[in-house]
Structure 1
Amino acid sequence: MYFGIVPPLSDIQSWLMPPILSGYMATGEQSQGQYYELSLLRLALLFITLSLKWMDKRNLGIGKSRMFSQTDCLPGH
């Protein structure tokens, strides 16, 4: 479906192409493609950050695992 947010894709890029550059190249060198990709990356980073913060708050009541204890790294303990 075409919603008119960005121009239709004129070229298919390899997955090896860097994210912002691929949006620019795929839309026929139009800047809307790279701005759209940048906004999607920001949205994904926001979602990941909020998810990690939520997981961190959820685990505050649980003690640290013995594996991550500071004294286990010292010799003789």
Structure 2
Amino acid sequence: MFNLTLDISKRIVNILKAHGIDAHLTRESDKFVELSTRTSWTNKQGAAGLNALHGRFNLLQTASVFSLYNMCG
């Protein structure tokens, strides 16, 4: 699950950068980072906002959901 979500996030960042948007990831590997650590890092960077992509997967494969949360400073 983390690898798929991270892969999609990296693709989004590349698209944003190609359009001149200064975009960063709060993690670069399949390692969990606490939300408080992510928001603290984001605030230190002086970011105008934070987008969070979440994947919810069902082991029975009856449903899968992606959610995108957007927080603007």
Structure with more strand by fraction = 2
TM bucket (normalised to shorter chain) is under 0.3
Normalised to the residue count of structure 2, the TM-score between the two structures is 0.25
Normalised to the residue count of structure 1, the TM-score between the two structures is 0.24
